[in-house]
Amino acid sequence: MQKNQVTRIYNVGKKIEQVLTAVLAESNLTIRLWTLLSLLQDGHTTNQALQIQLQTNKSTLSRQLNQLVQQDLIRLNEISSDRHQKHYQLTPHGLQVLNQATQQISQLDDAVFKYWSKDEKQFLTVLLNRFESDLIKRKV
């Protein structure tokens, strides 16, 4: 049975999720927690900014942030002048864990695309960008 392209992309996405989950487990992270750490490193330090980036609700985000605080990966920035707007920052340990996880993902990327030419990688990027753009246009 011939699968359509959307089904094939879905299946590849699930496989990528499985592999990323296994790689990040070595750093005691989930994909979502790794994403949160990455967003904090990129300057999205408030609940509101993180909620917008992750498109999640406040209670889920709060639970995930509290988990990272308990693991000493992030801390609440006490310098904030607005007590209603919490600001978070990576701890040195959090930065170390994030860097380790990012390096592991980079090694995975290198291994998967080891035999791909530069043009093939660029073409894949173009196709994925186009696919994502088309999904957004169709509000799928």
Are 87 and 71 contacting, i.e. CB atoms less than 8 angstroms apart?
no
Give the chain's mean pLDDT: 91
28: left (phi over 0), alpha (psi -120 to 50) or beta: left
* Domain of 28, in residue numbers: 5-137
Query: What are the C-alpha distances in Å from 37 to residues 40, 50, 67, 82?
Result: 5, 10, 12, 22
- pLDDT above 80 (res 1): no
Task: Give the per-residue pLDDT at 59.
Answer: 92
Within a 10 A sphere around the Cβ of 97, how many other Cβ atoms? 23
Average pLDDT over residues 10-37: 95
CATH code of residue 114: 1.10.10.10
pLDDT for residue 21: 96
Q: What is the mean pLDDT of residues 39-66?
A: 92
Task: Provide the pLDDT confidence category of residue 26 given band limits of 50, 70 and 90.
Answer: very high
| Total domains present in the chain | 1
Here the tokens at position 20 are 């990323």
Q: Summarize the confidence of residues 95-124 as an average pLDDT.
A: 96
Predicted local distance difference test score (pLDDT) of residue 79: 66
DSSP result, the chain:
-PPPHHHHHHHHHHHHHHHHHHHHHTTT--HHHHHHHHHHHTT--BHHHHHHHHT--HHHHHHHHHHHHHTTSEEE-TT-S-TTS-BEEE-HHHHHHHHHHHHHHHHHHHHHTTT--HHHHHHHHHHHHHHHHHHHHTT-
CA distance 76 to 53: 19
List, in sequence order, every residue forming a beta bridge with 90; answer none if it has no partner: 74
pLDDT band, residue 22 (cuts 50/70/90): very high
Residue 81 has pLDDT above 60, yes or no: yes
Q: pLDDT grade, residue 104 (50/70/90)? A: very high
Give the pLDDT band (50/70/90) at residue 136.
Answer: confident
Res 84 pLDDT > 80: no
